[in-house]
Structure 1
Amino acid sequence: MPSYYDIIGDIHGHAEELVELLLELGYQRYGQGFRHADRMAIFVGDLIDRGPAITEVIQIARSMLDAGDARVVMGNHEFNAIAFHTAVPGSANQWFRERSEKNRKQHQATLDQLSTRELADAIAWFRTLPVAVELDGVRVVHAAWMEDGIDEINRSLDTFGRFTPEFLAEATRTPSELYKAVEDVLKGPELKLPAGHEIVDKSGHVRDTVRVKWYEQPAGRTYRGYHFGSDDVPDLAVHPSAVEGLVGYPPDAPPVLVGHYWLTGTPVPLAVNVACTDYSVAKNGKLVAYRWDGETALSAQKFHWVGKE
């Protein structure tokens, strides 16, 4: 098995950019997927929704996984799709992810592009995906490497089965430990803003919470300094009770690669051992990969991308 990996960010149905990036990285067509002579791709999740070629993206990633040329971790969009298409037992027209206008709009491109059979097959495949992987000294997770949360999810998968209705019932029950774990690991820890403060996020939704820089120490931070993104948040001190359980990611821990955060600009590591590979390809940004060759300190020179400069 290769010990060097190319970690590829959120694709969201942009197969043209995916093919271009794989070819640039030295992969060649192999069946319905791609293969590199001595490297393996790791996809950070969010293969689906938004883009124009979702079926092809799933086909490439799944073929590469089946052939041993890639690993795939679950993103929040894959988890949401499972919940959206899993009925609550004993209920009429009730699903574990509410079929609201907002949720349907987010998932609409997938609904439009996949046939009923293709969709059922994709959901069955999504249920097999891990929420995190650690290979040869590198870690990959969709949003945040939270050790306790990953352990809670994996214990619950052992107890309830892989994203079964029983698992989803617990994962969508607030405030269960599994609910918090799924939110943290697949969507990133969030911090509730002080009373009376709201933001409008990148999707135009009004929110009273912000995603935080989970990899940094929260002590002594302000909401503006500790939040993740470019939203206008108050420059007020964060009370220690609001960040209980957030301790940062140790600088001597194995390097971790994530997606999820809709970054823009020129890719750079977030910390000495933390980097994000999501640079908003679904919003006319870049599809980014980080080429990991065993280093413990991540480097801006190891990012590769296609799309907008």
Structure 2
Amino acid sequence: MNCQGYDLIGDVHGCALSLRMLLARLGYRQVNGVYRHPQRKVIFIGDIIDRGPHIREALQLVRDMVDAGHAHIVMGNHEYNYLCYMTPHPDKPNEYLRAHTARHQRILQQTLEQLAPYSGEQQDYLEWFQQLPLFIEFERFRVVHACWHQGLIDRFRQQYDGNQIDREFLYRSAIEDCFEWELMDRLLRGTHLRLPNNEVMVSKDGFRRHFFRTKFWMPDPQYLVDVVFQPDPLPAHLARLPLTAAQREDLICYGSDEKLLFIGHYWRQGTPEPVTSNIACLDYSAVKYGKLVAYRLDDETRIMPEKFVWVDVAREVHLANAEVGAS
């Protein structure tokens, strides 16, 4: 197939019905059970699993497209978390790369439950997740789940020759503060700063956080409020604190002259729009009854607001479910 454009799709999180609706809206049709388009391909930004009601269906749909050559995908932090949660620790008997804490189980619960009856599939998906690229770079644009960190990516390419991890890398990535750990943390979770004075922020989903997510494209931020990038705002007494020299060292800046960049991860709200002229975030909280969002990329050199396409989950999926129930 001669690909004439790409449709980049944000975090699915088990919302298979929304995904089917979005693909139909984008002009994809099922042929022999696989969604395809005569001129275009999809690029999934990761986080196909967790939280939603139809995780197994979403995985099957996405993998079928990837295997048939009609889509690409990069790894999300939820695929990575699941892979680590299910991988025994090589040096600690009866332990795993990701500790089986109540918090970690809560995040993965829907995936664990929905795949448990299909142990063969579960193992197959674990092997597939390890093979997923961490990032993809094309001539005109880049794709990563949370943050493009050029220095870390350059070092990874030099040491590991490509954009995929192996089993030894996976094991090392569980060692806090080593290179492999830092790479996965930055690319799949983004940049962040610790809350001052050891303060704790309780997010809307009930998690206690000592860190807050930060923008990685601000050229000269002055205050904490200038760099915060997440649904939950900073407490007012912290927002206007000036950035310290140490905090500035932890920030990076993806310049306005860099290639177009597509990310997910950040639970945005409202009407989909560009983050900057060259950055688009496609995660608009679909599994929380927000929007499942795509961007239709052709040959433009700047992110264009009119190229976002989405399914309003709260409205459209509710109506679709109501019609099915009434039939």
Scaled to the shorter chain, the TM-score interval is: over 0.9
RMSD across aligned positions (CA): 1.7
State the aligned residue count: 306
Instruction: Give the 3-state SS of the residue equivalent to 1:143 in structure 2.
Output: coil
The Cα shift of 1:295 comes to: 1.1
How far apart, in 2, do the equivalents of 1:202 and 1:263 lie? 13
2:107 corresponds in structure 1 to 106
In structure 2, what is the equivalent of residue 170 of structure 1?
A: 172
| Separation (CA, whole Å) in 2 of partners of 1:106 and 1:288 | 22
**Structure 2 counterpart of 1:124:** 127
Q: Who is 2:308 aligned against? A: 303
| CA-CA distance at 1:251 after TM superposition | 0.8
1:214 match: 216
Q: Which amino acid letter does the alignment assign opposite residue 167 of structure 1?
A: F
Residue 34 (structure 1) aligns with: 35
Is contact 2:8-2:44 (8 Å) kept? yes
SS where residue 196 of structure 2 aligns?
coil
Which amino acid is 2:254 matched to? Y
Alignment-mate amino acid for residue 129 of structure 1: L
8 Å CA contact 1:12–1:46 kept in 2: the answer is yes
TM-score by length of 1: 0.94
Specify the alignment match of 2:76 in structure 1: 75
Who is 2:151 aligned against? 148
Distance 2:33 2:82 in 1: 24
Paired residue for 2:271, among 266, 269, 285?
266
Higher helix share: 2
Distance 1:154 1:83, change over 3 A: farther
Query: Is the Cα–Cα contact under 8 Å of residues 228 and 234 in structure 2 kept in the other structure?
Result: no
Residue 134 of structure 1 and its aligned partner are, at CA, apart by 1.6
Equivalent in the alignment of 2:142: 139
Farther off after superposition, 272-281 or 129-138 = 129-138
CA contact (8 A) 2:85 2:97 kept: yes
Amino acid at match of 2:205: S
Name the counterpart of 2:49.
Answer: 48
Deviations 1:257-287 (A, max 9, x none): 1000000100110001001000001111110
Counterparts of 2:159 and 2:95, CA distance in 1: 23
1:183 to 158, 182, 185: 185
Q: How far is the alpha carbon of 1:154 from its aligned partner?
A: 4.3
Gaps of 5+ in 1: none
Q: Are the equivalent residues in 2 in contact too, given 1:200–1:231 (CA < 8 A)? A: no
Which residue matches 1:7?
8
Report deviation, 1:156.
5.2
Deviation at 1:150, TM superposition (A): 2.4
Once residues 249 and 200 of structure 1 are traced to their aligned partners in structure 2, the CA distance between those partners, rounded to angstroms, is 29
Distance 2:299 2:61 in 1: 26
Structure 1 residues 220 and 17, CA, compared in 2 at 3 Å: closer, same or farther?
A: closer
How far 1:57 moved relative to its partner?
Answer: 0.9
